[in-house]
Amino acid sequence: MEKMPRWADVVLVPVVSLLLAALISVIVFWAVGQNPWEAIKLMAFGAVGTSDFLGYTLFYATNFIFTGLAVAVAFHASLFNIGGEGQVLLGGLGAAIVCLFVPWPHWTLALIGGGLAAAVFGALWVVIPAYLQARRGSHIVITTIMFNFMASGLLVYMLSDALRPAGQMQTATAVFPEATHLPSLNDIAQLFGADTFGRSPVNISIFLALLACVGVWLLIWHTKLGYQIRAFGQSESAAKYAGISAVNITMIALLISGALAGMMAVNNTMGINNPQLIDNAAGGAGFIGIAVALMGRNHPVGIIIAALLFGALYQGGAELSAATSVPVQIVVVIQALVIMFTGALDEMVRAPIAKLFLRRNARAEA
């Protein structure tokens, strides 16, 4: 069968999926008695309406780039890391410990140290699920879900007991020392005399996220390891015949995935206005990463676009729920629809489009 053109695969199919998801979202708005058009306008304004809102959108997009990359790297090895949420939480723990107990002289060093700690903690949290998948064949999906629950239990314990300063009411760590606070984009803009992004927490780690995209792109498509990961993901048996160790690739792919998820914590601990690790810091970003990776077709460029879209959705949804009676969970619904249409029902969208092109090609030849 003649394949459809590349642009249709990369652009048309996701856009149609997105439209289907939007259509059902409209029905949901209508079912809860909300004017869909008004809701969409409110969300759009909440996402990009002011410089402040745009800053928040970019802040959330930074989170989702990290978690999206994390899911994508595992997907390339045909592994489904649904534990991003827990890995982000542990990454936050790592960053918090390093920021609180090491006297950093300057934020650049703190960024390196905090980033490494976050990555290591995130990766460590996936070691056991990865090991059990590689050596015992335990289902990575269920084990990582279980590790999400355990991570949130561990974090509640750490934040309400071990790391909470005496006398503080909030379940959170102390505020990190000033030297570890990453400059926000507003700080940088002010160096050049501009004043953009207002009080929003979007910060320097957005560049770290873009750097991670380049890193993943190099890793997956331009290194031997990346080739092995993709080969393993395409066909486990073929990869084994080619001398690729299934155990090693499973472990390495998942460790990289966990490290990427963990690194998100740099953004939501050291980057926020009051740098500290708060309760429920991940806020569902680990799960949104699944939708981002699926929509972005596991490619860094696609992931950046999808992350921006979900950042806008997340921020717009928050503004929508502040202005109307629609709760923020509407974002979860839309996220689910995107996962459904771009992930599981892909063939439903793809097949008619492919048929359309096939017919057109046949007509052109005749």
Partner 1 sequence: MDFFTIVQLGDASIRMAIPLLLACLAGLFSERAGIFDIGLEGKMLAAAFLSAAVSFASGSVWVGLFAGIGISIALSVVHGLASITFRGNQLISGVAINFFAAGLTVVIAQGWFAQGGRTPSLSGAARFDGIDFPGALTRVRDKMQASPGMQFYSEFVSGHSILVYIGLLCVPLTWWVLYRTRFGLRLRAVGEAPEAVDTAGISVVRLRYTAVIICGVLCGIAGAYLSTAVQAGFTKDMTANRGFIALAALIFAKWRPWYALGACLLFGLFFAIDNRFQNIQLQVIWIMVLLIGVSVAMTSYALKREWIDKVVLGGLSAVLTLLALLTWNAVAGDTVDDQVIGFGAALFETVKVPSQLIQSLPYLFVVIVLAGFVGKAIPPRAGGQPYVKER
By the criterion CB under 8 A, which residues form the site for partner 1?
28, 31-34, 80, 82, 127-129, 131-132, 134-139, 141-143, 145-147, 149-150, 153-154, 156-157, 161, 247-248, 251, 287, 290, 294, 325-327, 329-337, 339-340, 343-348, 351
Three-state DSSP at 184 gives: strand
Residue closer to partner 1 by CB (options 133, 276) is 133
**How far apart are CB 361 and partner 1 at their closest, in Å?**
22
**How far apart are CB 6 and partner 1 at their closest, in Å?**
22
Q: Which amino acid is present at 189?
A: A
User: The tokens of 351 are what?
Assistant: 């097949």
Residue closer to partner 1 by CB (options 153, 190) is 153
Residue closer to partner 1 by CB (options 103, 137) is 137
**How far apart are CB 328 and partner 1 at their closest, in Å?**
9
114 Rama sector, left if φ>0, alpha if ψ -120 to 50, beta otherwise: alpha
**How far apart are CB 255 and partner 1 at their closest, in Å?**
11
CB burial of residue 292 (10 Å; 0-12, 13-18, 19+): buried
User: The tokens of 69 are what?
Assistant: 């990359």
**How far apart are CB 96 and partner 1 at their closest, in Å?**
17
Q: Which of 121, 208, 186 lies closest to 158 in space, CA to CA?
A: 121
Residue closer to partner 1 by CB (options 100, 333) is 333
**How far apart are CB 52 and partner 1 at their closest, in Å?**
26
**How far apart are CB 130 and partner 1 at their closest, in Å?**
9
Q: What is the rounded end-to-end Cα distance, in angstroms, of the chain?
A: 16
Distance between CA atoms of residues 365 and 254, nearest Å: 47
- The CA distances from residue 268 to 8, 52, 112, 265, 281, in Å, are 36, 17, 15, 5, 7
Residue closer to partner 1 by CB (options 106, 136) is 136
Give the 3-state secondary structure percentages of the chain, helix then strand then coil, rounded to 5. Answer: 75, 0, 25
**How far apart are CB 290 and partner 1 at their closest, in Å?**
7
CB burial of residue 365 (10 Å; 0-12, 13-18, 19+): exposed
Residue closer to partner 1 by CB (options 45, 131) is 131
How far is Cα of residue 14 from the mean position of the Cα atoms in its chain? Answer: 18
Residue closer to partner 1 by CB (options 69, 254) is 254
Q: Are 203 and 196 in contact (CB under 8 A)?
A: no
Residue closer to partner 1 by CB (options 97, 272) is 97
Distance between CA atoms of residues 24 and 335, nearest Å: 12
